[in-house]
Structure 1
Amino acid sequence: MAQVNAILTDAPKGGVRYGKIDIRDEEGANAKLEPVYTGICGTDRGIVSGSLQFAYNPQGYSSLVLGHESVCKVIDIGENPYHIRPGDYVVPVVRRPGDCVNCLAGRQDNCSDGNKHEAGITGMHGFMREYFYDHSDYLVKVKDPSILDVAVLTEPTKNVMKAFEVFSVVSKRAIFHNRHSTLTDKRAFVIGTGSEAFLYALMCREYGFETVILNRHPIDERKLSLADAAGIEFHDYSKDFDQVTQGGIDLLIDTSGHPETIFRFMRKMNYNGVLILFGTNGKAPGAPLDGSDIDYIVERNITIAGSVDAAQVHYYQALEYIRKWRYVYGKAFASMITGVYSPEETDIFSRKPAEEIKSVIKW
């Protein structure tokens, strides 16, 4: 049993505090880790506000340690086949497997019975604590320590890698590319302007899409600079919806979880279009969907796919793209980290700065 300082909540009731908690030693854990940075996302804020009823404390605990986005320093580690040594930096995997066939195959992101656990979310303590012990099997090494300032973005980026794996599968139902076998005249729209939305937009650009990122209000200069550096258009769709949707949409990615907005853009999708749903917002109001909408989806062969979490392979892919984007876009990419806070500044879980892309806690 170890007593550590941690950022705590009581899931699913919510609330947040920084204090001490006694945590039992993890069975089989062979690595001691100290967080360097932990990221704050909408899931953390949803748990703190009590709006995510699927979150729950670990068995036998009245509190949950928050935090699923992390980059950590290895303090000590036993023998392992991954060439991880003390002093290395790693990203811990968030979702841990249950007993279904997908989990046993290393694809707990596609868990088919719901018996997996997610660090800082469902039944497993997260990474927002002064140190913790973990299994080397669930650590992904950061091979280039020069990207340490942005490596905390690995967890949200691995979601993007998984979603594009889904896209690569479902887009094969028809010939999606143009007659030159490219996507250069295809249009990808990303709803939202948070960190996940920008990461999705950057990946759309990797595929060659003409890429548009959307919100219903203006965005600040930092976000505009990042978009400009990557060749991404921004549009305030409250002002120019009809103009921006001329020509239709081939790939639509939602990070908002807002049904009305999703359906509005869905009705502008081209034949054989793909809609990827990633954002979740259980408290978002409903929106009408009638028979003509179903006709539109069916007659245009539109594919709608949900995507959640990712497998370990996607963490490795994410680190490679983060490394590339850090060097290609330089300070513009690093500017995604818009605020650095101490563990004691727990009010950041209850408020979202207007200019925020990604807020992190430095340990």
Structure 2
Amino acid sequence: MKAIAVRPGQPNSVHLAEVPTPSMASIPDGRGVRVRMLRVGIDGTDKEINEGLYGAPPPGEEILVIGHEGFGRVEEVGSEVSDLSPDDYVVPMVRRPGGSLYDRIGFPDLSTDETYYERGINFLHGYLAEEVVDDASYLVKVPPSLKEVGVLVEPTTVAEKGWRQAVEIQRRLRLWRPQRTAVLGAGTIGLLATLIFRLRGFDVTTFARTKKPYLNTDLAEAVGARYYSTQEISLLEAANREGPFDMILEATGYSPLAFEAMEAVGKNGIIILSSVTGGDRKVEVPADRINLEFVLGNKVAVGIVSAGRDDFEAAVRDLAHAEAAYPGWLKRLLTHAVQGLENYPLLFNDLTEEKEAIKVYCDIAEF
């Protein structure tokens, strides 16, 4: 079958590959599910894997099928699968068990292993292929009403996990009631985080570089958030002028903002760091003041990576809520479609800054 793959570590090696059709026998105990991939999104992670910055093929192989934002339709189920049926729409999870304690108790997204397993990223083939076979445990059902926007489930899990971790950590405060929230970045994850926090009733300010108006600012404001361009006002200036934030989610990929957020978050506040930054950028920060204010203010900064099943299921629920609350809003995020795996070069071309894409995706098969 056809798939889009790279040779990890070799820059710009993305190509259309012919790979073996996956076998149901690869999943033990009758738990296998064959999924016809319908639509797969790509993002900066795929771009950086193609640049050779990270990523690893399955053991014994030279190529890695990329794509971790999958959406498909069930074609066949194993004898022991009772919760899925042919024609169900599903989203596959990304992170898989690697052997740590957290893996064994069902939380692979919190694995402590140095070697981790992620579909389309590390040691496991991804979803930019005609078909995949997976264990039913890692497939999350999506209602037909969300089929047009189901490809947004995986990126939504970033905000869902961030919120889940914030709630768990802030139980220490017993009466934590966040009101003012900042989202740094107005790309796919930033806008979805803006949406998720607005659905929970928070006062949300979304920050990004580009001055308004443009589509991303329209989308942020359409759900009741305010938008600031950091060319006109910085995060710290906004916090000094309007008051500190109870919660900040960083989703820009620009690491210095993490340290600016440490100055802009209020007492008992929390910063959620979701960007993967593979460079060696260095900045000077007011370290003594940041440390002092963190200690005296009971502040927290937490990093999050990947997501668990709870986050995927929460994403499905919240996207259904969003469709009812803001009809048509989610589809506006789907800005750049590429038809067919054979047109894979367009995917990476559309990811360039000049294209001003929010979500780039490949339509692999008809719905």
Do the structures match in fold with TM over 0.5? yes
Match of 2:96 in 1: 96
Q: In the alignment, residue 9 of structure 2 is paired with which amino acid?
A: P
Match of 1:259 in 2: 255
Match of 2:146 in 1: 147
1:281-320 alignment runs, 5 A limit = 281-283=277-279, 285-289=281-285, 290-320=287-317
Match of 2:33 in 1: 31
1:15-26 alignment runs, 5 A limit = 15-22=13-20, 25=23, 26=26
Runs of 4+ residues deviating >6 angstroms: none
- 1:271 and 2:267 aligned: yes
SS of equivalent residue, structure 1 residue 226: helix
Deviation at 1:355, TM superposition (A): 2.5
Match of 1:359 in 2: 360
How high is the TM-score relative to the length of structure 1? 0.91
Q: Work out whether residues 256 and 281 of structure 1, in 8 Å CA contact, stay in contact via their aligned partners in 2.
A: no
Q: In the alignment, residue 126 of structure 1 is paired with which amino acid?
A: G
Q: Work out whether residues 33 and 73 of structure 1, in 8 Å CA contact, stay in contact via their aligned partners in 2.
A: yes
Q: In the alignment, residue 162 of structure 2 is paired with which amino acid?
A: A
Deviation at 1:265, TM superposition (A): 3.2
Match of 2:165 in 1: 166
1:201-212 alignment runs, 5 A limit = 201-212=194-205
Structure 1 residues 24 and 140 mapped into 2: Cα distance closer, same or farther (>3 Å)?
closer
Q: Work out whether residues 48 and 349 of structure 1, in 8 Å CA contact, stay in contact via their aligned partners in 2.
A: no
Match of 1:86 in 2: 86
- 1:199 and 2:177 aligned: no
Q: Work out whether residues 210 and 229 of structure 2, in 8 Å CA contact, stay in contact via their aligned partners in 1.
A: yes
Distance 2:175 2:43 in 1: 33
Overall identity of the aligned pairs, in %: 26
Structure 1 residues 75 and 139 mapped into 2: Cα distance closer, same or farther (>3 Å)?
same
Unaligned runs of 5+ residues in structure 2 are none
Structure 1 residues 78 and 216 mapped into 2: Cα distance closer, same or farther (>3 Å)?
same
Distance 1:220 1:39 in 2: 26
Structure 1 residues 220 and 130 mapped into 2: Cα distance closer, same or farther (>3 Å)?
farther
Match of 1:244 in 2: 238
1:10-159 alignment runs, 5 A limit = 10-14=7-11, 15-22=13-20, 25=23, 26-28=26-28, 30-51=32-53, 53=54, 55-142=55-142, 144-159=143-158
Deviation at 1:137, TM superposition (A): 2.1
How high is the TM-score relative to the length of structure 2? 0.90
Distance 1:257 1:294 in 2: 23
- 1:334 and 2:331 aligned: yes
Structure 1 residues 220 and 20 mapped into 2: Cα distance closer, same or farther (>3 Å)?
farther
Unaligned runs of 5+ residues in structure 1 are none
Q: In the alignment, residue 14 of structure 2 is paired with which amino acid?
A: V
Deviation at 1:152, TM superposition (A): 0.8
Distance 1:283 1:49 in 2: 13
Q: Work out whether residues 22 and 131 of structure 2, in 8 Å CA contact, stay in contact via their aligned partners in 1.
A: no
Structure 1 residues 333 and 23 mapped into 2: Cα distance closer, same or farther (>3 Å)?
closer
Structure 1 residues 61 and 294 mapped into 2: Cα distance closer, same or farther (>3 Å)?
same
Structure 1 residues 224 and 259 mapped into 2: Cα distance closer, same or farther (>3 Å)?
closer
Q: How many residues align?
A: 351
Deviation at 1:327, TM superposition (A): 2.2
Distance 2:2 2:255 in 1: 39
SS of equivalent residue, structure 2 residue 298: coil
Deviation at 1:275, TM superposition (A): 0.7
The root-mean-square deviation of aligned C-alpha atoms, in Å, is 1.9
Deviation at 1:250, TM superposition (A): 1.5
